[in-house]
Amino acid sequence: MNFRQEFIAFAIERRILRFGEFKTKAGRLSPYFFNAGLFNDGDSMTKLSRFYAQSILESGLGFDMLFGPAYKGIPLVTGVAMALSVQGRNLPFAYNRKEAKDHGEGGALVGAPLAGRVLIVDDVISAGTSVRESVQIIRDAGAVPAGVAIALDRMECGQGQLSAVQEVEQNYKLPVIAVATLEHLLDFLQFHQELAAYEAAITAYRQQYGSQHAILA
């Protein structure tokens, strides 16, 4: 079992990835739900950060530091920086506040100064709002966005025929690194009989809402 399959197994075990019927932000009824906010203890955050680090290192992407958009990106960027350090990549990181602080050190940014090539670390990409805001923050600081790392790519259509991830890649010319995708999830279900009942529902959902560009890629 490779690390992507291990990640899916771990997410299912911790009920971070669940099956049933769930309404998405887009109003779609999805047969599965992924809630990264439930990586909420030391053990799960440590393991999640390792999965991120593995996918980032495997990508071969060049970058100089990490940025985590508030709020979910804050613990994620911290954990990923620590996991990469264990792998021999000690990198600076920063994150933003939703509201600028007007006392103490002040400002909207916390951590290392944004400089060089910056990898954005977030949980998922849905409407792309977080990425857009992060790209603006990074550019305003005189740095260069290098890419985006996320936990799961649902491979669903965004605003048009492209998936939300593909829209980010096209609009900002940034590579997106996902620990796992919907394809990895479907592959996992094929080899686990106790979960086989969910495979048909997820396949049908993908056929209805999945980006055809993502399916053909």
Name the H helices within 60-128.
73-86
Diameter of the chain measured on Cα atoms? 57
Please tell me which residue in 23, 25, 98, 101 is annotated as part of the active site. 101
Please tell me which residue in 103, 173, 184, 213 is annotated as part of the active site. 103
CA–CA gap between residue 47 and residue 83 (Å, rounded)? 9
173 is known as an active-site residue? no
101 is known as an active-site residue? yes
Name the H helices within the chain.
3-13, 42-59, 73-86, 129-140, 164-172, 182-190, 197-209, 212-216
**Tokens 């670390």 map to which residue?**
121
Measured CA distances, 3 to 8, 51, 54, 214 (Å): 9, 7, 8, 22
Question: Quick one: CA torsion of 170, 11, 93, 154, rounded to 10 degrees?
Answer: 10
The tokens describing 68, both together, are 């985590």
**Residue 206 corresponds to which amino acid?**
R
Name the H helices within 100-177.
129-140, 164-172
CA–CA gap between residue 135 and residue 137 (Å, rounded)? 6
Q: Which residues are catalytic?
A: 101, 103
